[in-house]
Amino acid sequence: MNETSHGTVISTPCYGHYFDQWRAACTVPWQAYTQHDFVTGLADGRLPRAAFLHYLRQDYIFLTHFSRAWALAIVKSDNLEEMKAASATVHALIHDEMQLHVRICAAEGISEQELSTTREAPQNIAYTRYVLEAGYSGDFLDLLAALAPCVMGYGEIGARLAASKPAADYGDWINTYASDEYQALCRDVGLLIDNAITTQLGTTAEATPRWHALCDRFRTATELEVAFWQMGLKG
Ligand SMILES: Cc1ncc(CO)c(N)n1
């Protein structure tokens, strides 16, 4: 549960059982990520426009690599259900989420050509290559643990900000992640994680030797999200 500046209590959306377990195992970095100053600035409109645009340009590149990482999840899938869920996420990233970036930047006079030639910040390289590497050297679960903080973290942030009467400045961004479509995507990914863990690790996954390694991957990706916001703020 979270309390907004208006005193309204908002419950955190529930995306899945094992996602909840992973998040509960790293509450400190998870808070640093979902309640970062960048996020507060999006809500109250105090985030400088230049920092937002710098972040968006980096995030456009981030999303191209992130789409590749989800495509790798198709490769690492065990069955058609997993392939369907991973390919739906690839589609949502490329066709829906990246359009937000293209739209906002176009309104600011930044073309898609310019977006695609953005030079990657080291924090961007660190995060995207960490996730891709989790998939290259690990299995489907390693990859999902590294992918989850990104998808669900933004879902949680979007839902919380939209319910907190945010300033209008970053409404388009907030509404994208608070939208029914994005929230449904988070639940689908939550279900994908629950089914894959149960299939591979059984019903007492927390007691298996793999468990801590998966929690560590989730934590590292969460820490890399914090560094990504920080990179954005320094614009
Ligand atoms: C850095 C980052 N994390 C998560 C998301 C959500 O897809 C995003 N667009 N960018």
Average pLDDT over residues 106-112: 96
| Residue 61 in contact with ligand 1 by CB distance below 6 A | no
Residue minimizing CA distance to atom 7 of ligand 1: 151
| Residue 55 in contact with ligand 1 by CB distance below 6 A | no
| Residue 156 in contact with ligand 1 by CB distance below 6 A | no
Q: How confident is the model at residue 9 (pLDDT cuts 50, 70, 90)?
A: low
Residue minimizing CA distance to atom 4 of ligand 1: 150
Which domains does the chain show, CATH number per domain? 2-234 (1.20.910.10)
Residue minimizing CA distance to atom 3 of ligand 1: 150
Sequence length of the chain is 235
* 175-196 pLDDT, tens digit each: 999 999 999 999 999 999 999 9
Pocket test for ligand 1, best of 15, 42, 65, 66 (most atoms within 8 A of CB): 66
* 12-52 pLDDT, tens digit each: 889 999 999 999 999 999 999 999 999 999 999 999 999 99
Contact by Cβ (8 Å): 116, 42: no
Contact by Cβ (8 Å): 158, 178: yes
Residue minimizing CA distance to atom 2 of ligand 1: 150
Q: How confident is the model at residue 5 (pLDDT cuts 50, 70, 90)?
A: very low
Quote the CA–CA distance of 151 and 189 in Å, as a whole number: 8
Quote the CA–CA distance of 28 and 181 in Å, as a whole number: 28
* 48-57 pLDDT, tens digit each: 999 999 999 9
The percent of residues in the chain predicted with pLDDT above 70, rounded, is: 95
0.90 surpassed by pTM: yes
Mean pLDDT, all residues of the chain: 95
If you measure from the C-alpha of residue 151 to the centroid of ligand 1, how many angstroms do you get, rounded to a whole number? 7
